[in-house]
Chain A
Amino acid sequence: MSVVIEPAVRDAMYAALPHLRAFAISLTGSLDRADDLVQETLLRALSNLDRFERGTNLQAWMFTILRNLFHSDYRKRRREIEDPEGAFAEKLAVMPEQGAKLDFDDMRIALTKLSPEQREAILLVGAEGLTYEEAAVVCGVVVGTIKSRVNRARNRLAELLQLDGADEIGPDRLVRAVLETRHPG
């Protein structure tokens, strides 16, 4: 490849790499697929660099590329994706500490149970910290759609992680159980 790019753009690409990769890993649930996706995204970005509007957010632009590649890939290989037991956490170079690892695995598995649309929305807004407006541009939908996807994703994650108070606040579970027996369906 003989592309010459401005140092500023190249630096922005370096800076974007960990974020692209974390997004790809969380989106696919597979380290190998994620790295293929990042590679493809880099190559796409480089060959379309003339279309990147200088002065705008390069990382958001690359998220858009990655996200579109993911979706065209997803349609092709839908069956291979749901891999809730895929242990990509074990392949990460820096492992979470023991206690954190359980949370890590729970969250990873819960994410795979969301629809791809909800997953990307919650990752961009909830994890990457994009605004609803930025996430809407990346996903090519209107802001309201992103908001509702994020809300639904949050509620679903809370449900999947049993964060409806049951595990985090022990006594609450007891109280609810009592209340439920008092009001038999």
Chain B
Amino acid sequence: MTFSLTGSAGPIPSRRPSDQPCDPKTAPLPPVQDVVGERLRAVYSQILRDPIPQRFVELLDRLDGGTEDRA
């Protein structure tokens, strides 16, 4: 595998066109910021896959009938 010193590591999906550099200090950084965003979303989607604890599901299920009084 070869690395480019100037280019980005590969095509990074840019879902966020609002990511314009607004500060000269951050201007050269967009590829890095995309890497941060990608990593964050990867970690977050992992957490999102964790099954919801039963107690929450039950809490909402109970609202269905609306007659039980177990608070």
Which residues of A pack against B, CB within 8 Å? Answer: 1-5, 10, 13-14, 17-19, 21-22, 25-26, 35, 38-39, 42, 46, 92-94, 96, 100, 103-104, 107-108, 122-123, 126-129, 132, 147, 151, 154-155, 157-158, 161, 163-165, 168-172, 175
Can you list 23 A-B contacts (CB < 8 A)?
A: A1-B62, A1-B69, A4-B63, A17-B56, A25-B47, A26-B43, A35-B53, A39-B59, A42-B56, A42-B60, A107-B43, A123-B40, A127-B44, A129-B15, A132-B18, A151-B22, A155-B29, A157-B40, A161-B36, A161-B39, A169-B4, A172-B3, A172-B5
B48 contacts across to A, CB distance below 8 A: 18-19, 22
CB-based contact A100/B42 at 8 Å: yes
**Residue on A with the closest CB to B49?**
A94
CB-based contact B69/A126 at 8 Å: no
- Mask: chain B, 1-26; 1 = CB below 8 Å from A; 0 = not: 00111000100000100100011001
CB-based contact B3/A170 at 8 Å: yes
A169 contacts across to B, CB distance below 8 A: 3-5, 9
A129 contacts across to B, CB distance below 8 A: 15
Interface residues of B in 33-57 (CB under 8 A from A): 33, 35-37, 39-44, 46-53, 55-57
CB-based contact A171/B46 at 8 Å: no
Which residues of B pack against A, CB within 8 Å? Answer: 3-5, 9, 15, 18, 22-23, 26, 29, 32-33, 35-37, 39-44, 46-53, 55-57, 59-60, 62-64, 66-71
B31 CB to nearest chain A CB (Å): 9
Most B CB atoms within 10 A — which of A38, A147, A151? A151
CB-based contact B41/A5 at 8 Å: no
A147 contacts across to B, CB distance below 8 A: 22
Complex Cα gap A154–B55 (Å)? 35
Q: Which of A21, A151, A164 contacts B32 (CB 8 A)?
A: A164
